[in-house]
Chains A and B, each alone.
Chain A
Amino acid sequence: MNENASCAPIVRARGLHKEYGSGEGLVRAVDEIDLEVTPGETLAIMGPSGCGKSTLLHLLGGLDRPSAGELWLAGRRIDSLSERGLAQLRRHDVGFVFQAFHLMDELTAQENVELPALLAGRSPREARRRARQLLDQVGLCERAGHLPSALSGGQRQRVAIARALANEPQIVLADEPTGNLDSAATLEVLRLFEGLHTAGITVVVVTHDERIAATAGRMISMRDGVFVDETRLAGGARGNLADFAGWGG
């Protein structure tokens, strides 16, 4: 766990609830969940497909609205924000990483990374400088001018991570970030997350892969929309990543 763990939570949820459908078709994707995430923490939410973990992540990042409950992000209540307010929140405070990368196919790697900065109103020059810096950070400086179709899966996800960091968010939310990657690419992505943790950025990762979850500082298991287990991992992210990579001996 990070040294900032004692600070006020960056994410706080009380009775968070999300349901779809009605009558017999009613699905409680997230069912009365309470959650706190401290700044700088790396949290893994684990569970089988359909347990509601992605829905929870979408709620935390303001991609979706809860049916009931209260949700705070960085000290601001967000469950009642307007669509515009949520957009501002996603723009400045949250970075998303998706399993399917979701890069714009017609834009180059650099332009994809520039996208959030431009949306946030930064000047083109500043956005370009920041994108260069981030691509350098994820080791893709030389691929900056390539379209996503010319990049490997791992490279695309690294571009997506760089994009998530473009506006220096307080929290990065990753939905199965290694789901479409082979082992080598997975390791590259996990190393980047470790770097984020070291830099003090809060990371919430949703995964169904125990080995990925084990690299976090805390792991919550989810089933049928509720938390069923919570584990604090003593080894910390660095140690578990070493296990994942086979460095632990």
Chain B
Amino acid sequence: MGTALLVFRLATRDVRRHAAQAVLLVVAIAAAAATLTMGLALNGVTSESPYVATRAAAKGPDVVAYLTSASQANSLTRASGVANHSGPYPVVSATIRFDGRQADVFAEGRSTVAAAVDQPLLTAGSWVRPDSVVIERTFADALGVSVGDRVSLNGKSFAVAGIAVTAAQAPYPNLCNGTLLATTPTASKFSNACSPSFNIPFLSLPGGRELASSDEVGQIWMNEADAIGLTSKADPLTTYALNLKLTNPDDAPAFVYDRATAASAQSTAPMFSNWEGVESEDALLVQDGHGVLQPGALLLALLAIASVAVLVGRRLSEYARRVGLLKAVGGTPSVVAVTFLAENLALALFAAVVGLVAGWLAAPLITNPGAALIGTAGAPPISPSTAVEVIGLAIVVALAATLVPAIRASRSSTVAAINDVARPPKRRGALIRFSGKLPIPVLFGLRLVARRPRRALLSAANIAVTITGIVTVLAFHAYADNKLSGAVALTAGGLSDPVINRDEQLLTIITILLVTLAALNTLFTTWATVLDARHSAALMRALGARAGQVSSGLVVAQLLSALPGAILGIPLGIVLFKAAVHGGTLPSAIWTWLAAAVLGALVAIAALTVVPAQIGTRQPVAEVLQSETA
């Protein structure tokens, strides 16, 4: 009881006394914890709620059959378990152009009267009428088109009458590259959810181009006559869409499986999709951010370890005195270790809770189902496993940074600790002769690095993690640009990609967190170095060195430790990018950017070091020397 009170008392007083450092520690760990929480939350996101809402509002079908002729519809509409249907509607491929952008679309010919099954829900404007089109909302956003604009389809001009969402089709862009068929009759979802349009062998792109699974094709609805008017000899009408409502929607996978298996040998047999497959693909849009958040959480966790280690390292001599004192009055090694760890572990736990709550609150921002659906997924519940993982991460961060110093402190000599005996430097003749020929700032910087090698290592780790993050972000941006420009050549030009946009937003947030934490770490490391070097800096000034030379030496010390970290960060960032994007290739232009990023980081470190270094050299020499000997 008494020891517990003592540990609590020491921890709380220390936090109060060093509030800024405690806040930095909490922020560092909470940022990693929040990012991890969001990443883990996405695992459980299914877009179920928005999809259900959209399906209800847009009279979503349970099964969509793609036919090679309208006559194939008869047997399906009369099949057992089919309660209602709409169509068959002609599906025509075309090229849409708007404001310098172009893309491939599938235009579905519709009646001007609302359908009983799959009636897209208008979010703006009105339903199809002659000489006008209704555009699916994610595709409209990517194309940048709104109601009242005029678009060109295969060279003919049409007005945009409305923007709508549908539950019959997965949203733009194509996220799956998968197969259409259900793997088992009882599978609740397709083994690889996919937009059905991409797997229909008898449906080709404009100009007879074969449809590939990676193609991104938009969805539009128009008057049936207008749709058929888009066909030509080169692009004949080959496909009809039939929307089926089943008596029991849960029978959809079995319904599709039975018919797809029976007809698999015929090239003109109908193809099917069911509602659960579309729902799964809708969720992919949200879940794609998972690939960004998980590496981001890893980077932030590494940086948090560096932050905590910097903070602990900065105060090691203060801790050493406390350890000596505790031992002198009868503290056992275990009590000393517990006292040392308690504060940081308590702060880490607090930060984990802050991170969990922040991540949970921020999750709806990234679990927004996007323009394809109505409604919102809301904040996904924090599962016990998520909480355990996030708290575990926080504890690992705190332990990784403080366990070794705690054990060393508990085993340290009481007399040495209480007197804070400085470790005598190792002197090597050759090194001394060599260093004597160096300019004063470089000599001073080298000696500072040699005096505190662990701190130099932490600085290197700090900058390595930051550069890793920056390189990953730059690589992703370059990859995204490359991907979009590749899409221009293949199908569409100038369209934004909502998935890439979302990923880039997440990356930007993570980068801001990384850079901010790294800047704070740099400031703390510099300040620790300045305080540490106070005596030797004063001595150098007493021996004739100018204040400018001394502060330049401090800058050199920071740069010397940062440089290896910056260089190491480039390959690490590329490895991380390739792991996150599964082997994405980097354009050659990226190397210029990477070099600029490394140089920029070094300049930023120098700039962040100058101010503390100059403040440190302002104190009168005599005052420093006197206070050090008191």
B414 interfacial by beta-carbon distance below 8 Å: yes
List the A side residues contacting B413 at CB < 8 Å: 64
Q: Is the CB of A90 within 8 A of B329?
A: yes
B402-435: contact bitstring with A at CB < 8 Å (1 yes, 0 no)? 0000000001011100100000000000000000
Q: Is the CB of A119 within 8 A of B333?
A: no
List the B side residues contacting A118 at CB < 8 Å: 2-3, 5-6
B355-379: contact bitstring with A at CB < 8 Å (1 yes, 0 no)? 0000000000000000000000000
Q: Is the CB of B333 within 8 A of A84?
A: yes
Which among A102, A120, A166 is the interface contact of B418 at CB below 8 angstroms? A102
Bound Cα distance A116, B329 (Å): 6
| Interface hits, B307-355 → A, CB 8 Å | 321-322, 324-333, 335
List the A side residues contacting B14 at CB < 8 Å: 106
List the B side residues contacting A35 at CB < 8 Å: none
Which among B6, B10, B321, B330 is the interface contact of A90 at CB below 8 angstroms? B330
Bound Cα distance A111, B411 (Å): 25
A112-152: contact bitstring with B at CB < 8 Å (1 yes, 0 no)? 00011111111110010000000000000000000000000
A191 interfacial by beta-carbon distance below 8 Å: no
Q: Is the CB of B5 within 8 A of A124?
A: yes
List the A side residues contacting B414 at CB < 8 Å: 58, 63-64
Q: Is the CB of B17 within 8 A of A106?
A: yes
Q: What is the distance, in angstroms, from A61's C-beta to the closest C-beta of chain B?
A: 8
Q: A63-B414, A64-B415 are in contact. Are A111 and B331 (CB under 8 A)?
A: no
Bound Cα distance A111, B414 (Å): 21
A104 interfacial by beta-carbon distance below 8 Å: yes
Q: Is the CB of B13 within 8 A of A107?
A: yes
Bound Cα distance A166, B329 (Å): 10
Interface residues on B, range: 20 to 34
Which among A64, A111, A116, A123 is the interface contact of B330 at CB below 8 angstroms? A116
Interface residues of B (CB under 8 A from A): 1-3, 5-6, 9-10, 13-14, 16-17, 321-322, 324-333, 335, 411, 413-415, 418
Bound Cα distance A90, B414 (Å): 11
Q: What is the distance, in angstroms, from A144's C-beta to the closest C-beta of chain B?
A: 15
Q: Is the CB of B415 within 8 A of A119?
A: no
Q: What is the distance, in angstroms, from A174's C-beta to the closest C-beta of chain B?
A: 13
Q: What is the distance, in angstroms, from B318's C-beta to the closest C-beta of chain A?
A: 9
Q: Is the CB of A87 within 8 A of B10?
A: no
Q: A64-B415, A90-B329, A92-B330 are in contact. Are A119 and B322 (CB under 8 A)?
A: no
Chain A to chain B contacts (Cβ below 8 Å), 11 pairs: A64-B414, A83-B411, A87-B335, A88-B330, A88-B332, A91-B329, A96-B328, A104-B10, A121-B2, A121-B3, A167-B330
Q: Is the CB of B2 within 8 A of A117?
A: yes
A227 interfacial by beta-carbon distance below 8 Å: no
A84-B333, A90-B329, A119-B335 known, 13 other contacts, Cβ within 8 Å: A87-B331, A90-B328, A90-B330, A102-B321, A106-B13, A107-B13, A115-B329, A118-B2, A118-B6, A121-B3, A122-B2, A124-B2, A163-B329
Q: Is the CB of A119 within 8 A of B325?
A: no
List the A side residues contacting B322 at CB < 8 Å: 104
List the B side residues contacting A91 at CB < 8 Å: 329-331
Q: A96-B328, A102-B418, A104-B322 are in contact. Are A123 and B1 (CB under 8 A)?
A: yes
Q: What is the distance, in angstroms, from B10's C-beta to the closest C-beta of chain A?
A: 7
Q: What is the distance, in angstroms, from B326's C-beta to the closest C-beta of chain A?
A: 7
Q: A117-B2, A118-B3, A119-B2 are in contact. Are A107 and B329 (CB under 8 A)?
A: no
Bound Cα distance A92, B329 (Å): 9
List the B side residues contacting A96 at CB < 8 Å: 328-329
Q: A64-B414, A102-B321, A104-B322 are in contact. Are A87 and B327 (CB under 8 A)?
A: yes
Q: Is the CB of B10 within 8 A of A127?
A: no
Which among A88, A98, A106, A124 is the interface contact of B10 at CB below 8 angstroms? A106
List the B side residues contacting A123 at CB < 8 Å: 1-2
The 10 closest A-B pairs by CB, nearest first: A91-B330, A106-B13, A118-B2, A87-B332, A116-B329, A118-B6, A90-B330, A63-B414, A119-B330, A64-B415
